[in-house]
Structure 1
Amino acid sequence: MFLVGLSGGIASGKSSVVQVFRDLGCAVIDADVIAHQVVKPGYPAYYRIVKAFGHEILQENGEINRQALGSIIFHQSEKRKLLNAITHPEIRYRYVILDIPLLFETRTMLRFMKHTVVVYCDPQTQLSRLMHRNGLSREEAEERIAAQLSLEEKRQLARHILDNSGEWEVTRRQTLHLHSQLEDSLDFLPLRLGLFAGFLGIIYLFSRHLLL
């Protein structure tokens, strides 16, 4: 199994591409979902994490302070291994997609990815789609787009590009072709995803808070 980092820009069509991968039966890990669910009070991992790392990582409301936990695991390899052991899910797929909108902005997770994919569309199409989708003025839409790394820059950094500038069926065929390439790839690695389930959401939340 290997990891595929999927990114894009606001209104580039990434969510639609993700749905194609889901429909194909691919495992897709959504950073937004992980960030809000994996360490919530009431989940088994929550109690194990508190027991392992102590109550000093908790906020006043009882939830885990992601910044405090992140500070520990990113500076102590043995603590990362411990968190990995706590949150390790038994997942076995040919490849797993990590849906990370700010993958190229933070670059923290790039070293873990065997493949990187960006959902691209030309600047005018992106602007038009965002204005229509969110009911924004041109100025408001441009400000939101400017808050992220440009799609052209992401395009230069990615290994695979899915061009969603035109008809959706063309993009869908590109996605199916990429899926076939990844399925036929020999890039198997004995990776476990517990580490990502435990702290991918931490990285994502921090980066999103800082950049948006």
Structure 2
Amino acid sequence: MKHVGLTGGIASGKSAVAAQLTKLGAVVIDADVIARQVVEPGTEALERIRDTFGPGIFADDGTLDRAALGALVFADQGERAKLNAIVHPLVRAEVDRQREAAIANGVQVVVEDIPLLVESDQLDRFETIMVVQAPHDERIRRMIEDRGWDRADAVARMAAQATDEQRAAVADILILNDGSIEDLNAKVTEIYESQLA
């Protein structure tokens, strides 16, 4: 079984790479999806977040206002550390459960999609680190045009993550996403067939 850590900066195209890996037969475990699940209404994590950050980051229906929480934690490293201390252990436990289930089912390639892989000190858990990168200005454009963020928010999100240089330094496989989706899928397919499968 090949155990791959997949990461990339925000708006780099990491999700597109994960989707192509899934099509090729890998089991992709998405840490972001799990992070949303562990803070759904009624969870212990959501109550701890309310106790830690107050009611101002909740919508009227009691759900987490992700934009308000994001604005808070991406502007303050200390606040981000508090959130991570609540969420990360729960995410890791569920990731471990899903990985063990995939292995038990005979899956040959398990990919953990972790946006903050470099920042969260997990590199030694993986046999292979795959990093997706895209040009800085293109990432900003995607966040503004595709996600509707303002430029300041986009820049703040990028600044809160590891740099391209830091991610490239730990990459066993570096994918530059600077063309069409067809180009990206072709690169991923070639890598999967020659290095992972």
- SS at structure 2 position matched to 1:4: strand
Structure 2, unpaired ranges of 5+: 48-84
Instruction: Provide the residue aligned with 2:194 in structure 1.
Output: 181
Give the SS at the match of 2:132.
strand
Report SS of the residue matched to 2:162.
Answer: coil
1:29-55 residue CA offsets vs partner (Å, 9 max, x unmatched):
1123444558x9xxxxxxxxxxxxxxx
Task: Please state how far the C-alpha of 1:110 moved relative to its aligned partner.
Answer: 1.0
In structure 2, relative to structure 1, the CA distance for the partners of 1:166 and 1:5 (3 Å cut) is: same
Distance 1:117 1:131 in 2: 26
Does the aligned pair in 1 maintain the 2:45–2:86 contact within 8 Å? no
Q: Where does residue 149 of structure 1 map in the other structure?
A: 162
- Relative distance call for 1:68 and 1:180 in structure 2 (3 A) is closer
Contact 1:95/1:182, CA 8 A, preserved across alignment: no
Say whether 1:124 aligns with 2:137.
yes
Q: Secondary structure at the match of 1:106?
A: coil
Correspondence 1:114 to 2:127: yes
**Aligned residue runs from structure 1 range 127-206, under 5 A:** 127-184=140-197
Unaligned runs of 5+ in 1: 41-57, 75-79, 185-212
CA–CA distance in structure 2, aligned partners of residues 183 and 133 of structure 1: 31
Q: Larger radius of gyration, structure 1 or 2?
A: 1
Q: Structure 1 residues 112 and 121 mapped into 2: Cα distance closer, same or farther (>3 Å)?
A: same
The 5 A counterparts of 1:75-86 are none
How many equivalent residue pairs?
155
TM-score by length of 1: 0.61
Amino acid of the residue matched to residue 28 of structure 1? V
> Secondary structure of 2:175's match?
strand
2:114 is matched with 100
Q: Deviations over 1:148-187 (max 9, x none)?
A: 1122321222111111122222211110011012345xxx
Q: Does 1:4 align with 2:8?
A: no
SS at match of 1:126: helix
Query: Aligned pair 1:14/2:14, yes or no?
Result: yes
**Which residue identity is paired with 2:15?**
S
Alpha-carbon displacement from aligned partner over 1:128-150 (angstroms, at most 9, x marks no partner): 11111122232221112111112
Give me the identity figure in percent.
Answer: 32
- Alpha carbons of structure 1 residues 181 and 138: separation in structure 2 relative to 1, 3 Å: same
Shift of 1:60: 11
- Relative distance call for 1:137 and 1:177 in structure 2 (3 A) is same
TM-score scaled by length of structure 2: 0.65
1:11-44 deviation per Cα after TM superposition (whole angstroms, max 9, x unaligned): 1111111111111121111123444558x9xxxx
Quote how far apart the aligned CAs of 1:106 are: 1.2
